[in-house]
Amino acid sequence: MKRRDFSLAAWAAATSGLTGLAHAQGKKPEEGIDFLALDKRVPTEAGEGKIEVIEFFWYSCPHCNAFEPRFAAWLKALPKDVVVKRVPVRFRDDFEAQQRAYYVFETLNLVEVMHGKLFHAIHTERQALNTLATLSAWADKNGIPAAKFTETFNSFGVATKARRATQLQEGFKVQGVPALGIAGRYYTDGGLTGTMERALQVTESLIAQARSSR
């Protein structure tokens, strides 16, 4: 979801895997059109010889929910020198509960189990899960005791990760989600490329560019 919203028509094209006429498959990505090069490089945590890709998302964003299965499939085919990090955004203060929820899952090594479940609960089951109270009650029904969820949610470690997530969001100048940051140098999203399918193609091109320049 953009701070300036995508049109429904544009998103329908994105989630069906179609590419816009202005962004035909195979077209070389253009800086300022398909992606942005950052004025100031963002430090990465991928390690030497690795290329970091960040997916910025928000659990309540319908576009992120639609993109998640495609992104998950894309992850499985990545080369070994690419490290992917999911980063929940915080455009407003009321985003923080869901932002911290992701880091609760990460801290408890339950991202694979809980990440998709939370998207499903919000978008398919239409549950309002945007506060500690509602999230801990939901977690309790899905295998994480409410007390454990709450303790982890309020921990120093999760608070630190949430602050770092917001710093990354600001460093990449994220304007909406889903969005992708590549190698600490580049930013792309569906608003730039026309579709998120095209954004993945652009990301692959920028990964190759980052690999050749290291």
214 residues of the chain, pLDDT tens digit each: 554 443 333 334 333 333 343 344 568 899 999 999 999 999 998 888 999 999 999 999 999 999 999 999 999 999 999 999 999 999 999 999 999 999 999 999 999 999 999 999 999 999 999 999 999 999 999 999 999 999 999 999 999 999 999 999 999 999 999 999 999 999 999 999 999 999 999 999 999 999 998 7
Q: How far apart are CA 183 and CA 210, in angstroms?
A: 7
Contact residues for 100 (Cβ-Cβ < 8 A; gap 6+)? 132, 153, 158, 159, 162
- Is the whole model's pTM more than 0.85, yes or no? yes
d(CA 142, CA 126): 16
* Structural element, H or E, at residue 151: helix 146-153
Nearest alpha carbon to residue 50 among 6, 83, 72, 86: 83
Separation of alpha carbons 76 and 158, rounded Å: 27
Residues paired with residue 83 on neighbouring β-strands, in sequence order = 52
Q: Is 34 helix (H, G, I), strand (E, B) or coil?
A: coil
Angle between helices 8-15 and 196-213 (to 10 degrees): 60
- Return the closest-CA partner of residue 205 out of 16, 2, 45, 53: 53
